Structure formats: C-alpha cells, structure tokens
Amino acid sequence: MKQFFYTLFTFLLYSTSSLFAQNLEIIPLGVYGGGDESNLSCYLVGVENSNSYIALDAGTIRSGINKAIEKGTFHVSFETVLQNYIKGYFISHGHLDHLSGLIINSPEDSAKPIYSLPFVTAILKHNYFTNASWANFGNEGESPILGKYTYKKVEPFHSFAIANTSITAEIFELSHVNPQKSSAILLKNNSDYVLYFGDTGADRIEKTNHLETIWEYIAPLVRNKNLKTILLEVSFPNSQPEHLLFGHLTPKLLQEELSKLAQYAGLEHLKDITLIVTHLKPSGNQIELIKKELMEENPLQLNYVFPEQGKKISL
C-alpha cells in the first residue's frame, strides 16, 4: 500500500509539473548592433503565457513591439506591452544602441526598475537622464527628479529577483574596449537558465579574464542541461583586423571563447546549446558573411539561431 501511494505521489508530481511546465521564451525587439535605428539590441525574456518580461537592453522598443504585433506575437496594443508586459530593464552598458529606446519612450512608459551594475546607473544618471540631454526620469540625479525608473544597482555574482516575474538573475562584468565595461546577465526560472551578453571583446584582445570566469562559473549548468540558451554577440566578420574590433567578437573569436567553455563543461555538452547570435552590424554584405563564416567553421557543433525582430523564440 505504501508503495502504491508512493507511486501515485510520484505520478502526480511529474504530471502536474509537466502540465504547468513554464518554459522561458524570448521576443527580440531589436537584433542589430548599429546602423538601423529601428532594430537595435533589445530582447524580452519571460515565462510563456505570463505576459511578464524583463527587457535585456533597450536599443529599440517601439518599432520592435509594433513589429511583434504585426507578426501576431502580441495581440494587444503597443501601450499594453510597454506599460504592462515589460516589468523592468537590464541595461548591459552605456552605448546608445542598447538604451536609446528606453530614453525616447520614457514619457509613455510606466514606473519600473532598471537593473544594472553600478557603472551603468552612473551613466544613465550623468549622461542621459539629465536636463541637458532629456529629462530626469530616474530616481537619482539632477532635479527635478521624476522618479519613474528606480535604479537597482547590483553587485556582480549576486542573485536578485526580477520584480513582478518568477525570474531571478545574476549580473557579470565584461570588458568592451578595456577599461570600458559592459555586462552579462544570467536569468533563472525554476531550473532553466538563459545567459545574455551585452557587447564584449574576447579575453585575449581585451587582456582580461571576464569571459573565462563566466565560462567556468556556468559550466556545471551546461553539463546538467539547465543552461541551453546563450545570447552572444558577433559584430564583425573574420576579416576585421584585431586592432579595429572596438570590443566586439568575430566568428573566429566566438569559437576561441566557446572552446574554453568546452574545456570547462565538456565538449560533448556544447551541441545541446542554442547560441542566439546578436549584434550583427549591418553594413554591406557583412551579415551574410558573418552567417556564412559561423556555419562553415563550426568545430564545436553549435546550434546557431539568428533572431528576427518581433518573432518569438520558444525555449
């Protein structure tokens, strides 16, 4: 009898957990790393059917939401997505292609937190939410302080909750033309993880070990198949000279970095990873070239996804 109840209990546990399986999804609002101001880095991540998202960077907001509505990803108005669905922002660094959508749409936005490392808060406070540049929609800095956005300054490797979602996160520092910084965020929902990188150079070029530290840190999650989705930038094709990378990656440098992850996590686990390639710079035929170079030289057997603005990626 005891055995029967145990079996029943186990059955119920598994069937309810699969019934209420809450997978993460990603809705790209902008995917490029420059040039086209209607399509710059911004990725909404949330649990499916929850209508609650954290925006990872905010280069483009309005055009991205409108494109998502056009594609049938959202069935509500632009205002509903902006004001109700986006519960907060993570801003990786201070470059305009990662935050201009947030600044421009701030008058119509609702009150919410901005999560970042302290150096990003300082940039928002001193360079953008000022009377000379715009108006101070933040909760610190120049008067008048409108206080719509609450700065949540997070220390690296500290876990915190994304308010009004079931997601928790940790932020890591990156180097983006040393000593300029950028950052990455690791999101967690139940036992599922997603890792998003802001702009970053390779450790060898930047003369840092920020990426290697992250590879070592996430290796157990990759081995256990908890982390299967990584969003990482590739801005230039392989022909870009190393002294002109401006803190970005090429297909070759992406391989160089991920081979370190392979060493920590075990090569056989890398084929389970979906690598969402972000921040391609659309000039000339560069995008086609980058895609070709990634596909042709893929010794780690990575599974590449090239995100499209407004098109949902289910994880």
Residues that bind Zn ion (CB under 5 A): 33, 95, 97, 199
Question: In terms of CB distance, is 67 or 95 closer to Zn ion?
Answer: 95
Whether residue 73 contacts residue 27, with contact meaning beta carbons closer than 8 Å, is answered with yes
Q: Write down the least CB distance from residue 235 to Zn ion, Å.
A: 8
- List all residues 6 or more positions away from 153 whose beta carbon is below 8 Å from its beta carbon: 116, 117, 118, 121
**Cα dist. 139→16, 79, 145 in Å?**
42, 23, 6
- R_g over Cα of the chain: 20
Nearer to Zn ion among residue 47 and residue 55 (C-beta): 55
d(CA 96, CA 29): 15
**Least gap, CB of 93 to Zn ion (angstroms):** 6
88 touches 52 (CB < 8 A): no
Q: Are 60 and 38 in contact (CB under 8 A)?
A: yes
Identity of the residue, 92 or 189, whose beta carbon is nearer to Zn ion in the bound complex: 92
Rounded to the nearest whole angstrom, what is the least distance from the CB of residue 86 to Zn ion in the complex? 20
Q: CB-wise, 90 or 193, nearer to Zn ion?
A: 90
User: Least distance (Å) from Zn ion to the CB of residue 197?
Assistant: 11
Residue 92: CB minimum distance to Zn ion, A: 8
Shortest CB 59 distance to Zn ion, Å: 7
SS3 149: strand
Nearest to 137 by CA among 110, 163, 161: 110
By beta-carbon proximity to Zn ion, the closer residue of 24 and 101 is 101
Between residues 25 and 173, which has the closer beta carbon with respect to Zn ion?
A: 173
- Smaller CB distance to Zn ion: residue 33 or 251? 33
Q: What is the 3-state secondary structure (H, E, C) of 227-263?
A: EEEEEEECCCCCCCCHHHCCCCCCHHHHHHHHHHHHH
Compute the Cα dihedral for 117, 122, 127, 132 and give only its sign.
positive
Instruction: Bin 41: left if φ > 0, else alpha if -120 < ψ < 50, else beta.
Output: beta
Q: Give 37 or 140: the residue with its C-beta nearer to Zn ion.
A: 37
Nearest to 273 by CA among 215, 209, 312: 215
- Cα-flanking dihedrals φ and ψ of residue 208, to 5°? -135, 180
